[in-house]
Chains A and B, each alone.
Chain A
Amino acid sequence: MPETIKQVKEKIANSSAEDVISSYLEKIRRSSINGFIYVAENALDQAKAIDSGNNGGALAGVPIAIKDNISTIGMPTTCGSKILQGYVPPYDAHVIERLKAEGAIILGKVNMDEFAMGTSTETSYYGPTLNPWDTERVPGGSSGGSAAVVAAGEAPVSLGSDTGGSVRCPAAFCGVVGLKPTYGGVSRYGLVSYANSLEQIGPLANSVEDIATLMDVIGTYDHRDSTCVNRDINYRSSLEDDVSGMKIGIPKEYFGEGIDEKVEEKVWDAIGKFEELGATYTEISLPNTKYALAAYYIIAMSEASSNLARFDGTRYGPRSEGENWHMMASKTRHECFGAEVQRRILLGTYALSAGYHDKYYLKALKVRTLVKEDFDRAFSDVDVMMAPTMPSPAFKLGEKMEDPLSLYLSDVNTVPVNLSGVPSISVPCGLADGLPVGLQIIGKHFDEAGILKAAYTFEKNTHHHMNTAGEVI
């Protein structure tokens, strides 16, 4: 059974951190979903240290799974790619430093689409992760491992990263809670970049409260990320069971064509619940949504083509032989990057090339500005927005692998959020054909308080979060 931080802490208090960690390690050992791609050898030692009195910190003894694109001292950080096989970072990401400082115990590194490029965790070099609700289905992506292990009870909480929906999508597909913080809310120092201007590290958990707890730990200011904003936010203080007077915007472009009817129904049920609890809603329009997906992919791929240039086999990772350095680097990249990564590098390189730069990259930046303006305008009238996180429930393994375009299309409701930088949370809002559906709650810049409050209230007044992969209520 999936647990919350509070439940884990009670167990530690009643028995020991060692017991708690060893039972999690045992679950991981017996797992059949391929969520973990590395299990921390020293997790038990750390639990023993906690038990022997070294138990300060908000997360003392609490186990956590870390997406494999977040740098961890002494643990491999592969980004789900062959090109980083054997690479062990000599430094911790900011979020890892913070977790360790608060006593959290890292269980290991979890699977992801290679370099976070995907919506299904099928592009990982280390094999796909399976959805614990239905092992013939994908867990979503790219933080598929982060969501699946939380849903399967292999870790109570995890960290993922969200470039175009990569936390919210798997949270929705696996029936857990996932937050994409405001751009600049969490330091990216140590997060291996896919598309720097879009992505944020975000927590996944079985409750909204745990999301707030994790944000209080990881969301501290870090000068090493120049895009990190220095603000004093207490996330837990926003956990209020009260949405009376809250104005909800329903962006019409996020419903309708391409959206599964049963998903839409569950989302409308949820909106009805909010109304019942004292909130009001109005339909709004984000007219540039139709251009967002194309702009998103151009920007993300352009940045990726540059970010991934450093993987050349010279300093770390595997190396292919070549008659000179350029041949060596080229062969290494050809042999060690998967097909989707190569596709995105090529497209990004193309979009930035002389003669095409203005037509694609520059135009995409202009669309990005329009999308931002859409949000700014809409948020002058409403407090939060609500929409389906994903257009459908989890699809089958292999279903979209041959058709990248249809896979890209499934990000249609999540990418505008990354383009504009606003925060967004996905919470479970029921089942469609036995599979979880995610409700996406989008907030204003740095108004995590608003969406956490809405999500918390929803959770307190519904039972959807209690549905688990093993047991449906």
Chain B
Amino acid sequence: MVYENPDGVMIGLEVHVQLNKLNSKLFCGCSTDYHNDEPNTHVCPVCMGLPGSLPVLNKKAVEYAIRIGLALNCEIIEQTQFHRKNYYYPDLPKGFQTTQYDFPIVGNGKIVIDGEDGEHVVRITRAHMEEDPGKLMHIGHIEKSKGTLIDYNRSGMALVEIVTEPDMRSPKEARRFLDKLRNILEYLDVFNGTLEGAMRVDANISIGGGDRIEIKNISSHKGAERALLYEIMRQKNLVRRGGTVVMETRHFDEARGVTISMRTKEEEHDYRYFPEPDLVPIRVSDWVEGIRETLPELPDARRKRFVSDYNVADTHAKALTSDIRVADFYESVAKEVDPVIAAAWVADILKGELNYRDLGISAFKVEDLVEIIDLVTSGKITEKSGVDVIRTILDEGGSPESIVEKKGLIKVEGDIVSQAISESLKENPEALQDFLAGKEKSLNFLVGQVMKKTRGRADARSVRELLIHEIDEKYR
């Protein structure tokens, strides 16, 4: 089956990835661990752009950028350089952003994604390093805000901007690309995608060879898909009404799910790029092979290894490796129990239950799943009960053991107790009649009989409840 792309949609992405696994910012020693701290507490003269301060390039950030380039099958430039991108904005403390221009560190690569019609190649144009600006917080709504607060904690965080060719043919492919990219970046251990602002996306889209529209301010993969779906609908409607799409930049309003015009081509900035005089060009060609050797296992390789080492189905292997945390979780479980059974539990059951609740794998403990799988495989509880235990842990908490006990899920013990109850009732009709006639005390006698039959392995209080239940069902 070949995807026809009926509307002639072409989508290219610019993805800003924050290298938040670095210890310090791109050009100064400030800590990157600011997410839970007060505003403007992770700042210094350099990232505040105070007069006279100078940048010093974080070598580790350069290594991370090279790592990303290698993982995206890209070329690494021999000598890289920084430029200044000049524009005025209050979140930009120097009045320019230090970024890369005509000598980006990474060029020319590709990622293979699950496209509309199977494997689909998305070409990477380039990836470059730059600094993150600060963050504005508007008091009230952006359009009629009474004031704006600026937090420079984020200012100077290292970003890598990854730019693709317009190779995606649908919003779904764009989302798949982002999912895959995020997964690779997490495997590389350069980035934690769960932190706020870790990945920000600008999308370029054209339809049927028309003008290109840029959508800015997309902060999630789901948001990218929604923004693009909206944009396709908007452009098609516009053309249907006789309008023409003209090149412009639009802003995605996540809350309303719409894109809003920001500026047309005539209003585009002239950024007046020129080489950053405070940083010298750096030769990185000698670093590349060393970094390549330390590159961790990437998703596609891990998927293959799961098939060969654990003998799991490829569909399972793919599902398990599409998030490094799930893959790590699986491997921990697979060490303790049969890997094939573990794969089914993680990929088919646990992932589904987590997705349904919008939770990550960290919401579940490896030991708990191991215990549940043990209970099922040893025949103590049914598979259905196992699923029940997972759901209960996620919804109410507790350990598998306590849940099994509380819910009486143990197959064998449950049978013994119910058998003892029905025998006791049959063997003691007088006591039963007394109880039915309102003599509460005769219930104690019946409980005693059941306890005797089960040799004390049953819980007296639950026996009491089960007896009442049984009497209500069968004898009233």
**Chain A: residues with CB nearer than 8 A to chain B?**
69-71, 77, 79, 84, 87, 89-91, 93, 188-193, 195-197, 223-227, 302-303, 305-306, 308-312, 314-316, 325-326, 329, 349, 352-354, 357, 361
Contacts and interface: CB of A to CB of B under 8 A. Distances in A.
Given A90-B50, A315-B49, 18 more contacts: A69-B52, A71-B50, A84-B51, A91-B53, A189-B52, A189-B53, A190-B53, A192-B52, A193-B52, A226-B57, A227-B278, A227-B280, A302-B274, A303-B277, A306-B84, A309-B95, A310-B94, A315-B93
Closest 4 pairs (CB-CB, A-B): A309-B95, A197-B277, A352-B272, A196-B277
B272 A70 contact: no
Secondary structure call for the B interface: loop
A226 B56 CA distance: 6
A354 B270 contact: yes
B55 interface: yes
Contacts of A225: 54, 278
A315 B280 CA distance: 28
Contacts of A84: 51
A324 to B, nearest CB: 10
A118 to B, nearest CB: 18
B398 interface: no
Interface string B142-179: 00000010100000000000000000000000000000
A224 B56 contact: yes
Nearest to A308: B95
Interface string B47-65: 0111111111100000000
A77 B51 contact: yes
A308 B279 CA distance: 18
B294 to A, nearest CB: 25
B140 to A, nearest CB: 15
Nearest to B50: A89
Interface string B91-123: 001111000000000000000000000000000
Contacts of A354: 270, 272
Contact of A352 (B56, B274, B279): B274
B279 A226 contact: yes
A353 B270 contact: yes
B352 interface: no
13 contacts: A188-B52, A189-B53, A191-B52, A226-B54, A226-B56, A306-B96, A309-B94, A309-B95, A310-B95, A316-B50, A354-B270, A357-B272, A361-B274
B52 A226 contact: no
A178 B51 CA distance: 25
Contacts of B270: 353-354
B86 interface: yes
Contacts of A69: 52
Contacts of A224: 54, 56
A315 B152 CA distance: 11
Contacts of A196: 277-278
A311 B51 CA distance: 9
Contact of A306 (B86, B90, B150): B86
Of the listed residues B45, B48, B52, B54, the one surrounded by the most CB atoms of chain A closer than 10 A to its CB is B52
A245 to B, nearest CB: 36
A171 B53 CA distance: 27
Given A196-B278, A309-B96, A91 B45 contact: yes
A77 B52 CA distance: 10
Contact of B50 (A91, A314, A361): A91
Nearest to B268: A354
B88 interface: yes
Interface in B35-75: 45, 48-57
Contact of B90 (A89, A189, A227, A325): A325
A352 B52 CA distance: 22
Secondary structure call for the A interface: loop
Nearest to A325: B90
Contacts of A349: 272
A247 B48 CA distance: 49
Contact of B51 (A195, A197, A310, A329): A310
B149 to A, nearest CB: 12
B317 to A, nearest CB: 46
Nearest to A350: B272
B45 to A, nearest CB: 5
Contact of B88 (A188, A189, A309): A309
A148 to B, nearest CB: 23
Contacts of B278: 193, 196, 225-227
Contacts of A91: 45, 50, 53
A199 B55 CA distance: 16
Interface string B186-225: 0000000000000000000000000000000000000000
Contacts of A70: 52
Nearest to A303: B277
B272 A93 contact: no
Given A325-B148, A352-B272, A226 B280 contact: yes
Nearest to B44: A91
B166 to A, nearest CB: 24
Contact of A89 (B51, B55, B277): B51
A354 B148 CA distance: 32
Interface in B273-315: 274, 277-280
A224 B95 CA distance: 21
A93 B45 contact: no
Contacts of B272: 305-306, 349, 352-354, 357
B95 A306 contact: yes
Contact of A189 (B54, B96, B279): B54
Contacts of B95: 306, 308-312
A306 B274 contact: yes
Nearest to A225: B54
A190 B279 CA distance: 15
Contacts of B274: 302-303, 306, 352, 357, 361
B91 to A, nearest CB: 10
B56 A223 contact: yes
A436 to B, nearest CB: 31
A186 to B, nearest CB: 13
A453 B159 CA distance: 49
B280 A329 contact: no
Of the listed residues B57, B95, B277, the one surrounded by the most CB atoms of chain A closer than 10 A to its CB is B277
Contacts of A353: 270, 272
Contacts of B90: 312, 314, 325, 329
